[in-house]
Every structure is written in C-alpha cells, then in structure tokens.
Amino acid sequence: MEHIGIETSAMLVELNISTWTARKLDKKVSQEVDQQNDTKINAGNYHKNLLAGQNALDAWNKYSARIRLWYNQQTLPWADKGPRLLTGEVFMSGFKARLDEHEQNWLSLRSNFEANYEDMVSAAAFSLGKLFNRGDYPPLEEVMRKFSFRYTFSPVPTSGDFRIDIGHQARKELEDMYARTTEERINGAMREVWDRLHECLSHMSERLANDEDGNRKGFHSTLITNAVELVDMLDKLNVTRDPKLERARKDLERSIYNIDADSVKESDVVREDLKGKVDEILSRFEW
C-alpha cells in the first residue's frame, strides 16, 4: 500500500479509563471450599463482590465499557497498546464533542458513587452476611484514586523526526525502520477496516439465508441499522483512500438505500434481492 502522508490526514488519540473492580480474594473461604470437597491441592479461589447488590459501581463500569467500545469503533489500531489512529474526518465529524460528553456523563456517575460509597458499604454488610469484613474496604479517598478518565491527542510522527545527535548511517537506518513500521501499522489499520466490512456482510448474508428446512431466519433491526452506520464510518476511516474499499462501501450503501428491517422481513423479494447484492460484494474481493 502506497504511503500517502498519513501525518497530515490523521492523528493519534489515547484514551485511558481506569476503574475499581470491588472484588477481593477470600483466602479463608477458598480453603474451606477445598476442605469441604476433600481436594488435595488448591483447586480454586473465591472472590467476593464487595459491593454485591449495589448498582452504582456496576452502572459506572458498564458505562466505561460502552465508552471503550465507542472509542474503538471510531478509531483504528496503531500500536499494540496505547494510542490509536484517528482520521481527520472522524475528528471533524464531532469526535471530540462526543468524547467530552462521555467524560461528563462518566464524571456524573463518579460523583454518584462517591456520595453513596459509605452507604453501599453498610448495605454490603447485610448482603454478604458472614463474608463481610470491614477491613476489605479501602478508605473513600483511596478508592476514588483508582478511577480516572484521561485522553490525549498527538500528531503522527514522521520518519525524519529524529532529534538526537547520531551518525548519518544510523539516522538513515532509523528512518528506514520507522518508515517500514509506519507502513505496517497503516496496513494493519486498513486491515481492520476491511475486517469490519467483511464481518458486516457475512453476518447479513448468513441471516438473510433460509435455514436447513427452507424457513426464514429471524434477525434484529440492527442488521440494517448497523450496516447504515458502517457505511458512514467506512467513508471516514478510509485513511488511505483505498478505491476498492470505497467501491465496496458505495455498493453496500446502494444495496440498503431506502430499505428498512420491516420491509426485508415482510418481503421475500426484498430479502432475496438484498442477499444477492451482499453476496456479490463478498465474492468480489479476496478477504
């Protein structure tokens, strides 16, 4: 894939959300379970949910997971861990505003948890019964330090950005190595874009087919709405402007134009026509 000046069409973004699991290994109970079952070794561990029956932390952690999922959908892989690639088009389409909105909602859940922590500990004493141990619960200040929401934006570095005093040959080797690494990362990012498209098309094809008895398979309305959302995202994530990907995107867009889930469910003609178009796109590329 030809390198196209990615440093001018994209940036790097790194999102870090840390949370507290509120789980604690209970060694005493773990030993009792082993003894009750006459095990010869430590067969397992028993972890207590310190806030069993309380919803504030679960809601907070579930929302954190939703943010991470959204973040991954909006970005592409870059390094093994850490920052991800954010295209300029996604950024300009409201990424930062949406991220700030997520942060404010997350902080609101944080405030709710902080205000109710002591009450939740008291309630846990009733829920956990004999398993309750007040010493398992850190002070509020320590618990709150376990939670954080941070993000940073940074430019995609260029191969010539080596600011150390080294010899010409060594510098050239570093620049060549960086160029190769960048190319590999671009290819990896675009591979994920293709994989998202393939997963969507394959799922559509499978759900639009009849079962072994010749009966219609059921599907949720998200079969169509997810495809609509993907068509929009593929336009923004095609950082290399791959013409094959754009052609596949437009073909999918035309296939689902003015189609909703109800019409696909109700009409065999619409269903078969859509499946045929989806299968044609799938057959055209070496996935």
pLDDT (tens place) for every residue of the chain, 287 residues total:
344 456 677 899 999 999 998 998 888 877 877 777 777 667 778 889 999 888 899 999 999 999 999 999 999 998 878 899 999 999 999 999 999 999 999 999 999 999 999 999 999 998 899 999 999 999 999 999 999 999 999 888 765 554 444 556 655 665 666 677 778 888 889 999 999 999 999 999 999 999 988 898 999 999 999 999 999 999 999 989 999 999 999 999 999 999 999 999 999 999 999 999 999 999 998 88
What count of other Cβ atoms lies within 10 Å of the Cβ of residue 269?
9
Cα 213 to Cα 216: distance, rounded to the nearest angstrom = 9
Cα 206 to Cα 196: distance, rounded to the nearest angstrom = 16
Q: How far does Cα 102 stand from its chain's mean position? A: 14
Residue 272 β-bridge partners:
none
pTM to 2 decimal places: 0.76
Cβ distance 150 to 200 under 8 Å? no
B/e letters for 57-76, b = 16+ CB within 10 Å, e = fewer, are beebbebbeebeeebeebbb
Cα 57 to Cα 117: distance, rounded to the nearest angstrom = 9
